Amino acid sequence: MRVLFAASEAMPLVKTGGLADVVGALPKALAKKGVDVTVVLPKYGEIPKAITDRAITVAVMEVQLGWRRQYCGIQEVMVDGIRFLLIDNEFYFYRGSLYGYGDEAERFAFFSFAVLEMLEKFDLLPDLIHCHDWQTGLIPFLLRTRYANRPGYRDIRTVFTIHNLQYQGVFSRALLQDLLATGDDSFTQDSLDFYGAGSCMKAGLRFADKLSTVSLTYSYEIQTEEYGEKLDGVIRQRAHDLWGIVNGIDTEVYDPMNDPFLKFPFLDSLDKKRQNKTALQSELGLPVDETIPMIGMVSRLSGQKGFDLISEALPALMKENIQLVILGSGEHNIESMLQHTFMNNRDKMAVWFGFNEGLARRFYAASDMYLMPSRFEPCGLSQLIALRYRSVPIVRETGGLRDTVESYNEYKGSGNGFTFGPATAKDLIYTVRRALSFFDQKEIWARIVANGSKKDYGWDSSAQLYYKLYRELVT
């Protein structure tokens, strides 16, 4: 089976979020099952030079984009045993960051056309194209319309995965008509129309053969008005084609026994974990005391991640005997709030704005607990990494958090974390205090940590489900 992954980012080449982790790790798990996987993504300027220097140009072509004819190079490079194809156009992709430009529609329409055009040029007609998020949503649409009558294209099947429904690639109808050289018939309720505009996410939802999203609970949530982002009706119509498959993590990359960023490698030794905690306390300028419970967060600083709840809860939390360590960047008002709280609680809190992979790993390794009070969370990878590093998650019951974190039951001794349902600061505070009440009971805490260590959070079982999904389409 030949599968082409089309995505806007992938580890270890380039990353802004969890999408890159998935697109980097899932192909390796599928390859172990005998699937021939190739990954295609834009050749960004941010891709490490050590990788791009090894890339070989295998094809050069022009891509028609409305009235424009644009240069496109196809470069090939092997990374971690997986073949990557890079769509090369410096005007569109050699910029200071991956996203956030005024011509996003043009950039990713070009990418979508380039992916389909290269299949002929590069003799790479796959059995299936697995598309990820709105940046590739136009590919199923184009495949079923513009390319439907090209030899070899008709039999290609598509899977479209929703990683976060909130980001939809909505652009004006006139702009998309210009870029796609299409008429009004493509902007009906059953096609790209989205309240008078056009939606790349909807294109994927409408035209892909099968749909998936990144946890079972989220697959149900996005069929409701509360979580459906005005696309719940479309998703309900395709519910029979929608699979909810929880993400995994790359357990070779996230391995506390072989993590180059840790001073004290460990796996199940809580003594070694405490050594990582005291090392981080010293690094961050916090009081060095292994008995103080440390609560960690590595997160985008946004409302989705529940920082409004954290803001309301912080005065109460700062009265507890804890250390709260937060790494991330995002909304200015949230950064200001955290900075203000830190300035008044230097002995209980440390904040690092931005992203640093090594520091993030040390946060996971040092933290006794890991806080994720998200308002919605399609899957979440941080709680899985936390469990891998023996940090006990405290999460709100939504999306993949609900699917992967089971609240501790003191009567049965079961559960790998602590959870709460209502999105209120009161419930957050109560749940943190509940976790703290067990922390000082060493035998119970060791049991909770051990419960979290029993499950495999890698990709094997999820890759098997994707393989089954592919087999339903490719016989």
| pLDDT at res. 304 | 92
C-alpha span between 126 and 124 (Å, rounded): 6
pLDDT at 122: 79
pLDDT at residue 355, rounded to an integer: 84
Range 81-100 average pLDDT: 96
pTM: 0.93
Section 98-115 average pLDDT: 97
pLDDT of residue 451: 97
**Residue 456 pLDDT grade (very low, low, confident, very high; cuts 50, 70, 90):** confident
- According to the model, what pLDDT value does residue 118 have? 95
What domains are defined for the chain?
A: 2-248+460-473 (3.40.50.2000), 270-453 (3.40.50.2000)
Q: Is the pLDDT of residue 223 over 90?
A: yes
Q: Of 30-39, 145-154, 367-376, which range is least confident?
A: 145-154
Residue 65 has pLDDT above 90, yes or no: yes
The three-state (H, E, C) secondary structure of the chain, written as one string: CEEEEECCCECCCECCCHHHHHHHHHHHHHHCCCCEEEEEEECCCCCCHHHHCCCEEEEEEEEEECCEEEEEEEEEEEECCEEEEEEECHHHHCCCCCCCCCCHHHHHHHHHHHHHHHHHHCCCCCCEEEEECHHHCHHHHHHHCCCCCCCCCCCCEEEEEECCCCCCCEECHHHHHHHHCCCHHHCCCCCCEECCEEEHHHHHHHHCCEEEECCHHHHHHCCCCCCCCCCHHHHHHCHHHEEECCCCCCCCCCCCCCCCCCCCCCCCCHHHHHHHHHHHHHHHCCCCCCCCCEEEEECCECHHHCHHHHHHHHHHHCCCCCEEEEEECECHHHHHHHHHHHHCCCCCEEEEECCCHHHHHHHHHHCCEEEECCCCCCCCCHHHHHHHCCCEEEEECCHHHHHHCCECECCCCECCEEEECCCCHHHHHHHHHHHHHHHCCHHHHHHHHHHHHCCCCCCHHHHHHHHHHHHHHCC
In this predicted structure, the answer to whether residue 280 has a pLDDT above a threshold of 90 is yes
What is the pLDDT, as a whole number, of residue 242?
A: 98
For the segment 66-85, the average pLDDT, to the nearest whole number, is 95
Predicted local confidence at residue 268, as pLDDT: 87
Query: What integer is the mean pLDDT of 362-384?
Result: 97
Over residues 225-247, the pLDDT tens digits come to 999 999 999 999 999 999 999 99
Give the per-residue pLDDT at 120: 85
Q: What is the mean pLDDT of the chain?
A: 96
Name the residue among 185, 198, 217, 40 with its Cα closest to residue 116: 40
Q: What is the average per-residue pLDDT within 204-217?
A: 98
pLDDT digits (tens, 9 = 90+) for 289-330: 999 999 999 999 999 999 999 999 999 999 999 999 999 999
Higher pLDDT, 456 or 420: 420
Q: pLDDT at residue 272 above 90?
A: yes
pLDDT at residue 17, as a whole number: 85
Across 345-365, average pLDDT: 95
